[in-house]
A and B are shown apart, each in its own frame.
Chain A
Amino acid sequence: MTVQDLGRHGHQHVGVCPGGAMDPIACALANALVGNAPGEAALEITVLGPDLELERDTLLALCGAPFQATMPVNRPVLLPAGTRLVIGRAPRGARAYLAAAGGIAVEPVLGSRSTFIPGGFGGLGGRTLRRGDAIPLVEESEDLSRERFSKLKRKNGSSVRWSVPPHTVPEHEPLVLHVLDGQHFPSFDVASQRAFVDSVWKIGPESNRMGFRLEGPALAREKGDEILSGPTCLGTVQVPSNGTPIALMADHQTTGGYPKIAEIASADVARLAQLGPGGTVRFARCGLDIAAELRRHVLERLETALRGIAWEYGN
């Protein structure tokens, strides 16, 4: 579990990746549910959730994968001081975001509160949270929580009568990911090109916020010529010399010297982030026009959901 917001931008030329929430859509929704701007810092919960004790009355929302929790999910909930909140596992999906009214008040580093573990900065001490940590909320969080909760229209006890559907949690697997041909796609041999789109790929156990290793047939290039180290992007699929592709995720390196076989459409990266080790994907090649269309669709759906939530707050 780490503190994440929507990432730090403008520093990739000195080697600092944007990072931020692996599933920025779930993070933005969690924030909106407690009346925050989409980019406030929240807790990114991966695979297994924490036990938390609230020191103040707090308006919270847990959004993303359907984690078992002692609070209802995908909706705002006002929990009183002293509540012990237990978050377990999710039957589907891998990540959820716990947002609190006002956000998490760690110091921003280079314009973001996101934890960047490889660099040891951002979030709480640049590291994963551990037992005993106190998570700082903004000073006025209690007043904000009560005030915002009072504004909500259709209340039901300490929560509301509605919830937002998760946007990114895959309904079934293998999850289909749209990909553009990568810069070096043509240099892979025909059998590898075919295997890349025909195979079901399994996310390997040594996957993390930097990248997902994809287990399947080994991919090989026709010509083994040296590649100049080039820029990489969120969703770039690189193939190191062992032939096992790696999908670059939020904390990826900003440049890389491995051949790039594909670029995952940005619309699908958040859905990929909802798979944990053992999850399966397949790839569907598409053009830039389709990828752009998918991205527009994802953003429109998010905008609609954000407007709906704002309306519930009377905005």
Chain B
Amino acid sequence: MQRLALAVHARAEPELRDVVPALGGLALHFAPQFAGDLVQASLAIVERALDKLPPPAKVGREVEVPVCYEPEFAPDLAEVARRVKLEPEEVARRHAAGEYRVLMIGFAPGHAYMGGLDPSLAISRRAAPRPEVPAGSVAIANEQTVVYPYAISGGWNVIGRTPLVIFDAKREQPSLFGPGDRVRFRRITKEEFFR
């Protein structure tokens, strides 16, 4: 899906305003002024893109995200550890050792859903969502991990926090993550977090 989205993007038509890859499909958003047949136009675009799929390695960038797994940033780490029957230290180690891929961005600007979580850490979401999860919180559920771009309500299990700003509309690249990016987490201490 990510490769297809990239291939479509590379050959964008003027009336094609947005190309959105998601787990359950690819959306092509046309301007309302588009006068042609939407189905024919979409099929033609996708067929042409399928001929020019970029290799997986060409999709996305490498992004490194520093994460502090200290208890004050990780309200759910102890509970996660108990549920997966590992020490909290080992949960943090396995999370930071993983290699992740951004599957989709949605829910909020810059909010990336990343696949590749160690299956031994896969647990369901919290029964009751938290009314507010701080910006930068790193959380897990099922076999995915996310980083909350804003302080918003959320039900994922929070096991750490990054000092990075995930989304800033005023930056040249507003979103730290793009579809298909390869993401690694690097453990940092509390001192490094506040530096």
Q: Chain A: residues with CB nearer than 8 A to chain B? A: 9-16, 18, 109-110, 118-122, 183, 227-233, 253-256, 266, 288, 292, 295-296, 299
Contacts and interface: CB of A to CB of B under 8 A. Distances in A.
Which interface residue of A120, A253, A254, A296 has the most chain B CB atoms within 10 A? A254
B55 interface: no
A118 B108 contact: yes
Contact of B174 (A11, A231, A253): A11
B24 A227 contact: yes
27 contacts: A10-B17, A10-B18, A11-B18, A12-B19, A12-B29, A13-B20, A13-B179, A14-B109, A14-B174, A14-B175, A15-B106, A15-B110, A15-B111, A15-B167, A15-B175, A119-B150, A121-B170, A229-B113, A230-B22, A230-B24, A231-B22, A253-B106, A255-B22, A255-B105, A288-B39, A292-B38, A295-B32
9 cross-chain pairs, A with B, having the tightest CB-CB distances, nearest first: A255-B106, A230-B24, A231-B27, A228-B24, A14-B175, A12-B18, A121-B169, A9-B17, A228-B23
A119 B5 contact: no
Contacts of A256: 106
B32 A231 contact: no
A138 to B, nearest CB: 21
Contacts of A183: 25
Given A13-B179, A14-B105, A233-B29, A110 B169 contact: yes
A230 B25 CA distance: 5
Interface string B7-40: 0000000000111111111110101110101110
Given A119-B169, A121-B169, A299-B32, A255 B109 contact: no
Contacts of A266: 32
Nearest to A118: B108
Nearest to B2: A13
Contacts of B100: none
Interface in B86-113: 104-111, 113
A210 to B, nearest CB: 11
Contacts of A11: 18, 109, 174
Contacts of B27: 12, 230-233
Contacts, number: 112
B170 A109 contact: yes
A159 B125 CA distance: 60
Contacts of A299: 32-33
Contacts of B174: 11, 14, 16, 110
Given A119-B109, A229-B106, A231-B25, A255 B20 contact: yes
Chain B contact-residue range equals 35 or more
B38 A254 contact: no
A290 to B, nearest CB: 13
A14 B178 contact: yes
A14 B32 CA distance: 22
Nearest to A230: B24
Contacts of A233: 27, 29
Contacts of B5: 13
A15 B105 contact: yes
A232 B35 CA distance: 22
B177 interface: yes
Contact of A9 (B18, B23, B37): B18
Contact of A253 (B26, B107, B169, B178): B107
Which interface residue of A109, A230, A232, A299 has the most chain B CB atoms within 10 A? A230
A302 B37 CA distance: 21
Contacts of A18: 17-18, 29
Which interface residue of B17, B19, B35 has the most chain A CB atoms within 10 A? B17
A228 B115 CA distance: 13
B105 to A, nearest CB: 4
Nearest to B111: A15
A255 B23 CA distance: 9
A179 B53 CA distance: 34
B148 to A, nearest CB: 12
A167 to B, nearest CB: 14
Contacts of A118: 108, 150
Given A13-B105, A253-B107, A255-B104, A229 B150 contact: no
B127 to A, nearest CB: 15
A231 B107 contact: no
A288 B178 contact: no
Nearest to B26: A231
A13 B109 contact: no
A168 B167 CA distance: 35
A15 B26 contact: no
A292 B17 CA distance: 18
A295 B36 CA distance: 12
